[in-house]
Amino acid sequence: MSGLTVVTGATGNVGGSLVTALVAAGMPVRAVVRSEADAARFDSGAVQTAIGDLNEPASLAAALDGAQALFLLPGYADMPGVYAAAREAGVGHVVQLSGMSAASGDMSNAVTEYMVLSEQAAAESKLPHTVVRPSAFMTNALRWADQVRAGDTVTLPFPTVATACLHPADLGAVIAAVFADPDRYAGEVLLPTGPEALLPRDQVAIVAGVLDRPLTFVGLTDEQARESMAADGTPQRYIDAFLDFYAKGSLDESPVRSTVADVTGNAPRTFAAWAADNAEAFARS
């Protein structure tokens, strides 16, 4: 597909990586943004921009005008309405980002619920689409970068939970490859992961090696994790969801899959490579 691709969440990790991959492939791109300030972040010569609010599908007419393809984040207030707007605009293929927990169908989990509802909206729209359920992102490590900048101890929840974390650039490359050959991937559910399953302490050790200084890892108990998330302002329903995933073990993101290599032809990037590229975020000023 060589027509215009519209990317939602274009200023975030996944959408931003997808925009970069599409531009590199010479595919026309339009980024949906919330403000002129966000639009100014893009090179106007390479990326079109349109202001829209995904929670208000009626605001998307200009963003979707002339689009052949659409990348959607999950969890907007009216996902069926967004798909209706895409269908009205003549979009030919949608890539719906979701999460691995959607496979469980557990609607009592707040995160799984919005993933499932997003996938249901895709299916019910009758638009050709591909669902992508990635593992956790390497960029989640930036959540504890401030601890590294401030000292030598990193305290994290769920110390026994390993994840085959994924580089956002690899996810962007997978999605771009789907848009390049949408007929091949229509109706599929893709499960991209990183190349190795790492515990939180493993990630901390890798960052320590990149920075060439010692870091001490301390794992929180589940109750301490609950208290920490509450102190950070995490809504209770999401605290319960994360504890369901990682304390009760309802979600396993440790399996390593070959999806990135199968779809893109390239091996997925390692966490060590990501950490080296992002060392400045962890460095003391």
pLDDT in tens, 13-36: 899 999 999 999 999 999 999 889
pLDDT band at 258 (very low <50, low <70, confident <90, very high): very high
> How many angstroms separate the CA atoms of 179 and 275, rounded?
29
Query: Helix (H, G, I), strand (E, B), or coil: what is residue 231?
Result: helix
In this predicted structure, which of 36-40, 162-166, 246-250 has the lowest mean pLDDT? 36-40
- Residues with Cβ < 8 Å from 265, sequence gap 6 or more? none
Tell me what the mean pLDDT of segment 162-169 comes to.
97
On the CB side of 195, how many CA atoms lie within 13 Å of its CA? 13
> Above pLDDT 70, what percent of the chain?
99
Q: How many CB atoms lie within 10 A of CB 160?
A: 11
- Whole-number pLDDT of residue 43: 79
Q: Is the pLDDT score of 1 beyond 60? A: no
* Domain ranges for the chain: 5-137+166-193, 138-162+195-254+270-282
- Whole-number pLDDT of residue 63: 95
The two three-digit tokens of residue 147, written as one number? 């601890």
Q: Between the CA atoms of 125, 263, 113 and 78, what dihedral angle is there, to the nearest 10 degrees? A: -40
- Whole-number pLDDT of residue 285: 75
CATH: 3.10.105.10, 3.40.1190.20, 3.40.50.720, 3.40.50.2000. Which one for 5-137+166-193? 3.40.50.720
Tell me what the mean pLDDT of segment 223-246 comes to.
97
The two three-digit tokens of residue 157, written as one number? 């929840």
- Whole-number pLDDT of residue 45: 83
Tens of pLDDT along 63-97?
A: 999 999 999 999 999 999 999 999 999 999 999 99
> What is the residue type of 158?
F
Among 64, 37, 211, smallest CA distance to 141 is for 211
Torsions phi, psi for 61 (to 5 deg): -55, -50
Q: What dotted CATH number matches 138-162+195-254+270-282?
A: 3.90.25.10
